[in-house]
Amino acid sequence: MEKIRCGWCEKDDLYRKYHDEEWGRPVYDDETIFEFMILESFQAGLSWYTILSKRENFRKAFDDFNYREIAAYTEEKMEELMNDPGIIRNRLKIKATVTNAQKFLEVQKEFGSFSEYIWGFVEGKPIDHCPKTLSDVPAITEISDALSKDLKKRGFKFMGSTVVYAHMQATGMVNDHIESCFIRQG
């Protein structure tokens, strides 16, 4: 019997694998949370598929998403990234990644971990919206608005409410798998 999935992921095997193995699964480690933060911020204005298909290029270009290294990037390193055809070459998003890595470290220092900070917005456990169809899945919520506002206040860039909500979905802070999706049955 064929698996029923959320309709957005049926484009190809890359999308299906991402849906089946990662999307909506709770993530509590800072390294993976930061990886998704980079990827989601680069997605702003683009399709998630574009970013997902370049994920390994981003991993190589951004030192395996090591936020400590990224926080120390120089202008020369950022220029090198601007010349990397494997990633999205957007100067503002590259600079934002460096800024976000620096701010990520500040939040870690304040809260003990970034995970502790971000999961605090959902009281430490995923919110399950139980959507019946894709049209029932919101693009933003009051929580993504509040988290976005707080991140911006802390100096984070490219973290608007829509990007933040996508991040919350990707890292399992919310479960937006549709009712008929096999993930819900598992």
> Is 158 among the domain residues?
yes
Q: What is the DSSP string of the chain?
A: -PPP--GGGTT-HHHHHHHHHTTT-----HHHHHHHHHHHHHHTTS-HHHHHHTHHHHHHHTGGG-HHHHHT--HHHHHHHHT-TTS---HHHHHHHHHHHHHHHHHHHHHSSHHHHHHGGGTTS-EE---SSGGGS-S--HHHHHHHHHHHHTT-SS--HHHHHHHHHHTTSEE---TT-HHHH-
Q: Are 129 and 138 in contact (CB under 8 A)?
A: yes
Question: Is 18 part of the annotated catalytic residue set?
Answer: yes
Active site residue 23: no
pTM: 0.95
Q: From the candidates 15, 23, 40, 67, give the one annotated as an active-site residue.
A: 40
Query: Could you list the residue range(s) of the whole structural domain that residue 111 is in?
Result: 7-185
Q: Of the residues 18, 22, 49, 116, which is catalytic?
A: 18
User: Residue 141: which CATH number?
Assistant: 1.10.340.30
Query: Is 80 among the residues known to form the active site?
Result: no
Q: What is the pLDDT of residues 119-159, one digit of tens each?
A: 999 999 999 989 999 999 999 999 999 999 999 999 999 99
Residue 53 lies in a domain: yes
pLDDT band at 42 (very low <50, low <70, confident <90, very high): very high
Please report whether residue 51 resides in a domain: yes
* Assigned domain for 12 exists: yes
Residue 66 in any domain: the answer is yes
Q: Give the residue with greater pLDDT, 45 vs 111.
A: 111
Is the CB of residue 100 less than 8 Å from the CB of residue 15? no
Q: Total structural domains in the chain?
A: 1
